[in-house]
Structure 1
Amino acid sequence: MQKALILIFSLASLCGCSTLAHKQEEPSNSLILAEPLAVPFQSEVELARLEEILSRADLNNDQRAQVFYRRGVVYDSVGLKALARRDFNRAVQLKPDMADAYNFIGIQAISAEEFEQAYEALDAAIELDPKHEYAYLNRGIALYYGDRPELAVKDLETFLSMQPSDPYRILWLYLAEQKADPAAAKARLAYNATRLQGDLWANQLVALYQGKESEEDFVEGLKKGVDSNRALAERLCEAYFYLGKLHQAKGDVGEAINFFKLSLTTNVQDFIEFRYARLELNRMRRELSHKAG
């Protein structure tokens, strides 16, 4: 297995021209990088196979919709978002009751900040499958970024109720509640943290947000239990996104931007943290440009 490429460097070295208008603080930690993930050869093979299947004339509409959906998932996982969105739309045209495809259409719309389209698609996914866990997550995220935090909280509460010990679900609910009611968010985070189980590394994210673990210790712990570059890249994609959100909430705009950039360096295309790190950067750059203008 390819050895992880671990680079220790100063966060300040990542400061780009877009952040010069905001004073940068010297970071206290050295940070870790993984080698960015490449497109898996298996994905290329699968895309070729799916193309071959679609060329057959004997597929019925349901079968063709399933193949379009699967190809959309693969396109999405390798970063070909426009092609993925086209295939998801083709899938629901052929099979209008495909909740999974509507869920992905919603995700694509969030990334493009087309929130009304996201709500419509995710509403359809939930109407078709009321137990579709990730449709609640994604609609909650759409509402969060669409500046409807109170509604986002309701969906993210539903999502958390399906797996109360999941640290990621706890964090997304906290992020939405923090926008709606910061005091209540802090109290709920403390309560939800008592539900954490096992030794999942992501439990440390919750400890970090509670202030029970320092940022330095958190970053140092990111290497523990990692045995491949892929595992490291996936962990860093998540960790740096949530560090970006943490600094953003504190008003540390420069450091937040740098952490979102770090999340993107992993190239973990199919993680929500990767998707929304780019969205966060776009929004923060617009805000900085507006203030500068």
Structure 2
Amino acid sequence: MKWFQTASLCIMLVLTGCSSTTKQSSQWIYPPMAVPLQSTIKQEVQIARLTQLLQRSDLKDEVRAKMFYERGNYYDSVGLRDLARLDFNQSLALEPAQPDIFNLLGVYFTQVGEFDAAYEAFDSTLELDPSNSYAERNRAIALYYGDRIDLAFEDMTKHYQDDPSDPFRALWLYIIQYELDPIEAQQALLARYESKDESWGWVLVALTLDKITEEQAFKAVLTSSRDNTLLAQRLTEVYFYLGKRYQLVGDYANAVSLYKLALSFNVFEYVEHRYSFLELGRIFEEVKAQRLAETNAKKMSESSEKSEVVTQ
């Protein structure tokens, strides 16, 4: 990742309160940060209140199911995903026809690499609610991470065509299409970028296309974020998609650093936070496979050289 000199980003330094290290020739600063989000009093009180209410024995099943769903959402918002998943399953046991829960479970399954279960969950959501655009997008992303690229591209293309003004649909379509044809994916995203509006997400598209620099992207975040929560949310998005950009060109060192930054703000409800864990795992597996292949190739080469010496 590119680090910026203090001289060119003095405004950013003031706004973010970043520290700097001093050197004789130049000064360097840390990347823009936000205070990691913490659970609020409201969230904690609601979890405690719902837990107390669920102990009552006179609740109707439909009311109990709703309470489990609500508490699961609160658990999810503070990063307690296993507890959230448990509550969602208990809610479904009482009231099976809940498309939003199936969608959330599908995302959880995607995160842990249980892709067949994820596909089933998203299919259940779309059967119950065919207009659920979140499940449509999430299923395409799950197909992408499950290496079913053709199906992912088909799903995401339809999802994008339903709303071409959505920059996040354009971004994910590009990410998936890049696996099929990087050049064509770049050209298609450029064409979509030409019809952009003023939505925040198009800044991420511009960053992906190198239409703006990292410095300009960070300035856009800082000038448009009036509170720490929004700053944390937008930095989570910037670092995730910037990490994806580096990852696609094989720059794993920078990609890993950026995904870790995306995780650091505790924006648990954002898919960019959820999938940063998955991306880190994929990079680890890919690097491990590369090193294993290099080691095997080296051993074969050494074995071949020894055989030639013996023959001579």
Say yes or no: TM over 0.5: yes
1:20-59 deviations in whole A, cap 9, x for unaligned? xxxxxxxx98521111111122110111121122222232
Q: Which has the larger radius of gyration?
A: 2
Alignment of 1:19-58 (within 5 A): 31-58=31-58
Cα 1:148/1:60, change in 2 over 3 Å: same
Counterpart AA for 1:7? C
Provide, for residues 250-288 of structure 1, a one-character-per-residue CA deviation record: whole Å limited to 9, x for no partner: 111100110001111111111110111111112212332
State how far apart, in whole Å, the 2-side matches of 1:196 and 1:257 are.
Answer: 29
Q: Which has the higher contact order (CA 8 A, sep 6+)?
A: 1
Residue pairs, 1:63-82, within 5 angstroms: 63-82=63-82
Whole-Å separation in 1 of the counterparts to 2:207 and 2:132: 29
Q: How does 1:216-255 map to 2 (within 5 A)?
A: 216-255=215-254
| Pairs within 5 Å for 1:173-192 | 173-192=173-192
Alpha-carbon separation, structure 2, partners of 1:5 and 1:218:
14
| Separation of aligned partners in 2, 1:51 and 1:4 | 40
In structure 2, do the counterparts of structure 1 residues 186 and 8 end up closer, same or farther at CA, with 3 Å as the change threshold?
farther
Distance of aligned partners of 1:112 and 1:9 in 2 relative to their CA distance in 1, 3 Å threshold: farther
Unaligned runs of 5+ in 2: 1-13, 22-27, 293-312
One-letter amino acid matched to 1:120: E
Contact kept? 2:18, 2:30, Cα under 8 Å: no
Deviation digits for residues 172-225 of structure 1 (CA, Å, limit 9, x no counterpart): 11111111222332232123223322x223211111222211223223332112
| TM-score, normalising length: structure 1 | 0.87
Instruction: Give 1:163 deviation, angstroms.
Output: 2.8
Aligned to 2:171: 171
* 1:125 partnered with 2:136: no
Q: SS at the partner of 2:97?
A: coil
Which residue of structure 2 lines up, in the alignment, with residue 7 of structure 1?
Answer: 18
1:7 touches 1:34 (CA, 8 Å); kept in 2? no
What is the one-letter code of the residue matched to 2:285?
R
2:169 aligned with 1:158, yes or no? no
Work out the CA distance in 1 between the residues paired with 2:175 and 2:33.
25
Q: Partners in 2 of 1:196 and 1:32 — Cα distance?
A: 26
Asked whether the equivalents of residues 36 and 267 of structure 1 are also in contact (C-alpha less than 8 Å), the reply is yes
> Percent identical across equivalent pairs?
41
Q: SS where residue 31 of structure 2 aligns?
A: strand
CA RMSD of aligned residues (A): 2.1
Cα deviation digits, residues 128-164 of structure 1 (max 9, x gap): 1100110011101100100112111222223323332
SS at match of 1:35: coil
Structure 1 residues 229 and 4 mapped into 2: Cα distance closer, same or farther (>3 Å)?
farther
CA distance in 1 between counterparts of 2:290 and 2:64 reads 49
Q: Structure 1's 8 and 252: CA in aligned 2 closer, same or farther, altered over 3 A?
A: farther
Q: Secondary structure at 1:32's aligned position in 2?
A: coil
* Alpha-carbon distance between aligned partners in 1 of 2:178 and 2:245, rounded to the nearest angstrom: 11
8 A Cα contact 2:15 2:222, kept in partner:
no
User: Could you say what secondary structure the match of 1:141 adopts?
Assistant: helix
Counterpart in 2 of 1:135? Answer: 135
2:308 alignment counterpart: none
Question: What's 1:257 paired with?
Answer: 256
Matched residue SS, 2:179: helix
Supply the distance in 1 between the matched residues of 2:211 and 2:219 (Cα, whole angstroms). Answer: 15
- Say how many residue pairs are matched: 273
